[in-house]
Every structure is written in structure tokens, then in C-alpha cells.
Structure 1
Amino acid sequence: MANKFSAAVVYAVFSSFALNFFYQPGHVYASGATGLAQVVSELIVRVTGHNILPISVTLILVNVPLIALAWRGIGKQFTIYTLITIVMSSVFIHFIPVTTLTNEPVINAVFGGAIMGFGVGNAMKSGISSGGTDIVSLYMRKKNGRTVGTLSFIVNGVIVFIAGALFGWEYMLYSIIAIFVNSRVQDAIFTRQKRLQVMIVTQNPDLLVQKLFEKFNHGVTILNNSEGGFTHQKRTVLFSVITMYEYQDFKHVIAKYDPHAFVSISENVRVLGKFEEVDD
């Protein structure tokens, strides 16, 4: 719980810095819900001539229907932490003043994208979401196992197009740079879809299998009567596949129910057949 809350604070700080120190001064648009909030807020200013809905408020309004979707379809704990993350981010965005560090749009795009990507990646690594299209992706994968990458592509495409229409087409290119850098930094820190093969050598196979089923609902292959090469003692080897999103919870299960187990983890494995992802 403390780890997730601290990750929410880190995301709030980094996202507000990226937005108020780089995106806003450089007229660069972010991806997802933050970029959509920028679009809505700017359009209202253009139409009314007044900043009636600042980005901090618009960000919450954009995420309201998505929070409702998460509550019904993903899980209450996930939704609560996501809501905390969004509210804290909005508060930091509201109170941290917009500050122009440079007027060079490429620098604003690169550094803004990198800072935002770090915040999002750190949040996802800790098992929380920053909201936006990420919620829709999780919901669809949990319901039918399908991804909705085209949704993010369409939303981001609309965002950068509006950026070009409002400020000039060169700013569309700067926004594309920011979104690209954001995604690369985010993937360098954490990739939710990355699958890990875990091999567990244990003396308590029944308890671990029960707890792994309860937490993840993934299949577990059991190899009985394995022998240690040094001690020649009988052990049981468990094989399973988890996602990077589940890694922290997996470590907690092992530490709690068999701290003496030997665990080997292989990254980027390919899976054929049914593999259910549990996101709450």
C-alpha cells in the first residue's frame, strides 16, 4: 500500500513538471488523457476567451467515465489507487506554476516526454495506473483478452492533429516527438505486457500452488521428485507464467509463504494457448 501511494506521488510530481515546465510553455501536447485535457482546455479558451476549465480540472473530468468503467470492470482496489493518482496529479498541476525554461520546442518535447514517460513507467511498475486509455486497455484485456492499441493510436492522432491546427503544423511534429520519447522511456522502465516465466524450487508446493491460483489464476506445472545436485534432497519444481504487472505481487507471495524457495525468472517469453491476465 505504501509503495503504491508513493508511486502515485512520484507520478503526480513528474507529470506536473512535464506539463507545466515543458508541454505548456512549448505548446507541446502529451498523449492520452493528459493530452486530451490539454485539447479541451485550450479549445474552451479559444471559444470563450477565458480559462474557465484549467487543465487540472479537465483532467479529472476526462477520467470520470473511465473511473466508472474501472470500478465496474477491473477492480475496486485498482480503481481507488488510479483515482488517487489522478487527483494528486491534478492538484500538483494546479499549484505548480507554468514556468518557461526554454522556448525551443524540440527541447520541450524531448524533456517533457522523458519526464512524463518516467512518471508513467514508475507508476505502472508499482501496479497503479495514471488513467486514460490505459483503463480501457486493461478492461478489454480482462474481458476478452484483446488489446486495444488502435484506441491509443486514434486518440493520440486526434490530439496531435488539433495541436497542429491550433498552433501550427510544426507543433504537431513536436507533439509526435514528445509522445514517442514518452513511450520509449515508459517501455524502458516498465512494459505491462511483458511475460515472465517463473521456475520455483520449493518444499511447500501445495501451499504455493494454492496461493498462486488465488492471486493470479494462472496455470502451474508441477514437477515432482526433483533432486538437488548438491544436497541430493527431493524438491518440487513449479513452472508458471506471469506478467510484469504481477511481478511485485508474485514476489510478495513467495516471500510470505515460502521465503526459502529458489526462484528463477526468464523475461520476454512467448505463450501459445490461453493465458488469462488478472489486473486487480
Structure 2
Amino acid sequence: MNFFYQPGHVYASGATGLAQVISELIIRITGHDFLPISVTLVLINLPLFVLAWRGIGKQFTIYTLITVVMSSVFIHFIPVTPLTTDPLINAVFGGAIMGFGVGNAMKSGISSGGTDIVSLYMRKKTGRNVGTLSFVVNGLIIFTAGVLFGWEYMFYSFIAIFVNSRVQDAVFTRQKRLQVMIVTENPDLLIQKLFDKFNHGVTILNNSEGGYTHQKRTVLFSVITMYEYQDFKHVIAKYDPHAFVSISENVRVLGKFEEVDD
């Protein structure tokens, strides 16, 4: 924020960018910095902490609160230091660093607050992502950047938000879904262990036949998340190391799909 976004007049996405907008508008209207970005960021997140506490989990809320407070402290006390005057470089590197930080936070089961809380809440309750909310908030942010600093900065802010989201998606893989096909001789044991570990259904295809050995096998189909992949491998290796497993990435799921919480 203080090395790239602020010096380059580039806006971040979500609550951080909204805090930039509100803080900058107050300065433009009053001529005084009554609400710095650090304070505005905390105020925006206060009602969302209540939502997270009630709908996501206490541990998640506590860690997210720590994240937001620490972010605000560093934004407040670290001086704004321009590393370059090129707004494009500021947008790309600022977006990449921001995305890496937010992605790692979400990978560890916490968030940076703001629209992340709303998205995680809605995904937990409905299984759907609320992309419209992020689109509206980010659209307002980049439009404000154009009005305040010039329309070229709207495009720089768009680049920053795009890079942020791409890096965040690359780091945070929890929401990516994998279709697993398991050919096994021990279906009952494996199904029980999968049910014990994951809250996902398993489809059973009985009386399958190996094309080479012509021996009877059972085929199991299920969908897991990338976040659960290591645990899934451990279950297979421990309880049926001779099973044949095929995995397809980035599948789309229609219908109810439960995600396992830590």
C-alpha cells in the first residue's frame, strides 16, 4: 500500500480500496486527513467481523481481526515511500504482492477482511461465490480512481486488481475442485474412511472389469477440493495403496457440495 498503491495513485480491491476511496474523498472535500486509510479500513470491517463471528467461526474471526488490525497498524506507521514513479509498475507489483499476501492468508484459513468475509460466508451457506459483490465494489473503486486522478489511473487500478486476483487464485487453491475416480478391490473400507475424513458423497459403480486382467473391481467417484488433496492421498496410500486413482482438475459441480472446515 505505502510503497506501490499510494505513490502510484493506484487503488486496491475490496475493503482496502474502499478505504482508499473514502479517505481520499474526505481529504478532497474537507482538506484534512480526518480518516486515514488505516482507521477507515478498521471501521469498514467492524460490521463484517460480527457477520464472520456468527456465520463462519470464532477462530476465523479472531485471526482475521488480527490480520486487519496489523495491516492497519503497518499502513499507519510505515511512511509512504515511492519506489518508482511509473504507475504501471506500481500497479503490477502492488497487485502481485497484495494477491500473494491475501492468498496465503486465505490458504491458512483466515482472510484480509472486507469482501473476503462476505464471499466466504455466502460460499459456506449456499455453496456459491458472490462475484457480483466484488465486481460492484471494485467497479466503484476503479471509477473513483478515474474521477480523482485521471482516467488512465482507472486502467492502472484495473490492472492492479486483475493481477491481485490472478496471484490470489494461484496461491489460494482451496476453492478448486477435483473429480477423483478410484478403482479398488476394497470399496467398503475405502468408502468408510473417505466418509470419516471428508463430508462428500461417493458414487459406486459395481461389477467393473479390468481390461487386462478381467478381474472384478469397484469404481468410486467423488469430488474433493484442492485443499483436501493431501489428506485424500494419505487416505488412499494408507488404506488401499494398490488402488488406481484418476484425478481431473477444475471440474464444475451442479447441486449440493459441502466443503469441510478445519
Range class of TM-score, shorter chain:
0.7 to 0.9
Q: How does 1:108-119 map to 2 (within 5 A)?
A: 108-119=90-101
Pick one of 64, 88, 111 that aligns with 1:82.
Answer: 64
TM-score, length-normalised on structure 1? 0.77
Q: Does 1:189 align with 2:166?
A: no
**Alpha-carbon distance, 1:270 to partner:** 2.9
Q: Which amino acid aligns with 1:28?
A: V
- Structure 2's unaligned 5+ residue stretches are 211-215
Moved more, 260-269 or 52-61: 260-269
Q: Does 1:277 align with 2:259?
A: yes
The answer (yes or no) to whether the contact 2:190–2:239 under 8 Å persists in 1 is: no
Q: Which residue of 1 aligns with 2:78?
A: 96
Q: Which residue of 2 aligns with 1:177?
A: 159
Task: Provide Cα deviations, 1:195-222, integer angstroms capped at 9, x if missing partner.
Answer: 112456697536523422xxx4221345
Secondary structure in structure 1 of the residue aligned to 2:4: helix
Q: Which residue of 2 aligns with 1:208?
A: 193
Between structure 1 and structure 2, the one with the greater Rg is: 2
Q: Does 1:41 align with 2:20?
A: no
Distance 1:55 1:253 in 2: 43
Count of aligned positions: 256
Q: Which residue of 2 aligns with 1:135?
A: 117
Q: Which amino acid aligns with 1:148?
A: V
- Structure 1's unaligned 5+ residue stretches are 1-18, 229-233
Q: Which residue of 1 aligns with 2:230?
A: 251
Q: Does 1:168 align with 2:150?
A: yes
**Alpha-carbon distance, 1:103 to partner:** 1.0
Q: Which residue of 2 aligns with 1:72?
A: 54
Identity, % of aligned pairs?
A: 79
Task: Provide Cα deviations, 1:147-190, integer angstroms capped at 9, x if missing partner.
Answer: 32111111001111111122222211111111111112222333
Distance 2:218 2:104 in 1: 35
Distance 1:129 1:181 in 2: 18
The answer (yes or no) to whether the contact 1:208–1:258 under 8 Å persists in 2 is: no
Q: Which amino acid aligns with 2:162?
A: F
Runs of 4+ in 1 over 6 A off after TM superposition: 200-203, 223-228, 234-237
Q: Which residue of 1 aligns with 2:213?
A: none
The answer (yes or no) to whether the contact 2:190–2:236 under 8 Å persists in 1 is: no
Distance 1:110 1:222, change over 3 A: same
**Alpha-carbon distance, 1:21 to partner:** 0.5
TM-score, length-normalised on structure 2? 0.81
Secondary structure in structure 1 of the residue aligned to 2:106: helix
Q: Which residue of 2 aligns with 1:4?
A: none
Q: Which residue of 2 aligns with 1:52?
A: 34
Q: Does 1:153 align with 2:135?
A: yes
**Alpha-carbon distance, 1:225 to partner:** 9.6
**Alpha-carbon distance, 1:58 to partner:** 1.5
Distance 2:155 2:96 in 1: 16
